[in-house]
Amino acid sequence: MADSFDVLTPLVTPFDADGNLDVAGIESLVQHVVAAGVDGIVPCGTTGEFETLSPQEYRTVVRTAATTAPDDCRVIVGTAATDVATVHKRMAFAAEQGADSTLVVPSYYGGQASGAGNEAFFDAVLADAPLPVYLYNIPGAVGQELSIETVAALAQSDAVAGLKDSSGDLPYVTAVMNQTPADFTVYQGHDGLFVPSIVLGGDGGISALSHLLFDELEQAGTAVASGNVAQARTVQRDVLSPLSDACAEFGFAPTVKALLADRGVIDHATVRPPRTSLSSDAVASVTERLE
């Protein structure tokens, strides 16, 4: 079991009622999660609807989040793109804004790539990378799994810091931890597996629920670290998993935004297509689960 752990927030991207970028909302959201105690923030990831942002909006989100976060809050910037040149441009911009590292998914168009193809893509991404890179396995969004063998091979590079796994596949996480160096960081991206991953030796989570439930995540992780797995299991079962299930049902960005808006943390729960906002009944359901 891990004796220490991190909780980082994959930031939603606030929009106004018309769907325009809400810069002040980004600032207040970063301040909100930092005040809660998170170890770091991850702008422009999947929960941040990065694929709906224009190039200028992307730069604005990264700049605003990175400059608002205090020095002791890590900033891991999502730099996903289907071409290596764009990934490099986004990495360079993140570095200019003071980010600590970046998060990169496999190329997400063209079907299931071979292991050799994915390894070649990441080798090109890692060449002269200005920041450490976290690999990101999220097959439900990308359309392919980053194989355990590819992760193990890439983990030998000094440029690779670790992995965020959002597959929901606990045996996959276990195999990655067994086949990578001891200093290779493995973050859980599926809130329903936060406690099991830490019990198995994971390093914490990049958790959408940390927008709202940092104290509960901290409590669960601390319980695991102190050997009180029963307490951690209770928090996971009674608090984290029901909200994680709601996010899986309605979508992480729409659900988290609905809850943040309900609590007055952001002004609007607006999402961009192809995501859709929660119905009033769904909002009532998820707020009831949160309470």
How many domains is the chain built from?
Answer: 1
SS3 125: helix
Angle (nearest 5°) at CA 155 between 149 and 160: 135
User: What pLDDT is recorded for position 171?
Assistant: 97
| Mode of pairing for the β-strands spanning 101-104 and 6-9 | unpaired
- Domain range for 204 is 6-214
257 given a catalytic annotation: no
Over residues 217-254, the pLDDT tens digits come to: 999 999 999 999 999 999 999 999 999 999 999 999 99
pTM of the full predicted structure? 0.96
Select from 81, 83, 82, 94 the least CA-distant residue to 129. 94
21 in any annotated domain = yes
Is 262 inside any structural domain? Answer: no
* The one-letter amino acid at 270: T
Which 8-state DSSP code applies to residue 19? S
The span from the CA of 229 to the CA of 270, in Å, is: 38
According to the model, what pLDDT value does residue 2 have? Answer: 61
Asked if the structure places residue 200 within a domain, the reply is yes
Tokens describing residue 2: 């891990």
Residue 10 lies in a domain: yes
**Strand partners of residue 40:** 8, 74
Known active-site residue 164: yes
The predicted-structure confidence for 65-75, as pLDDT tens digits, reads as follows 999 999 999 99
pLDDT of residue 75: 98
Peptide bond into 274 cis (omega under 30): yes
Which residue in 58, 134, 164, 257 is the catalytic one? 164
Q: Is residue 249 part of a domain?
A: no
In single-letter form, the type of residue at position 57 comes to: E
Does residue 31 belong to any structural domain of this protein? yes
pLDDT, residue 213, reads: 97
Write the CATH number for 192.
3.20.20.70
Q: What is the DSSP string of 60-77?
A: HHHHHHHHHS-TTSEEEE
Residue-wise pLDDT tens for the chain (291 aa)? 667 899 999 999 999 999 999 999 999 999 999 999 999 999 999 999 999 999 999 999 999 999 999 999 999 999 999 999 999 999 999 999 999 999 999 988 877 777 888 999 999 999 999 999 999 999 999 988 999 999 999 999 999 999 999 999 999 999 999 999 999 999 999 999 999 999 999 999 999 999 999 999 999 999 999 999 999 999 999 999 999 999 999 999 999 999 999 999 999 999 999 999 999 999 998 998 888
Could you tell me the two tokens for 203?
Answer: 């390093």
Catalytic residue among 58, 134, 136, 187: 136
CB 55 within 8 A of CB 92: no
Name, in order, each residue with C-beta under 8 angstroms of 81's C-beta and a sequence gap of 6 or more. Answer: 87, 90
Residues making up the annotated binding site for pyruvate are: 47, 206
What per-residue confidence (pLDDT) applies to 172?
98
Is 223 a domain residue?
no
234 occurs within a structural domain: no
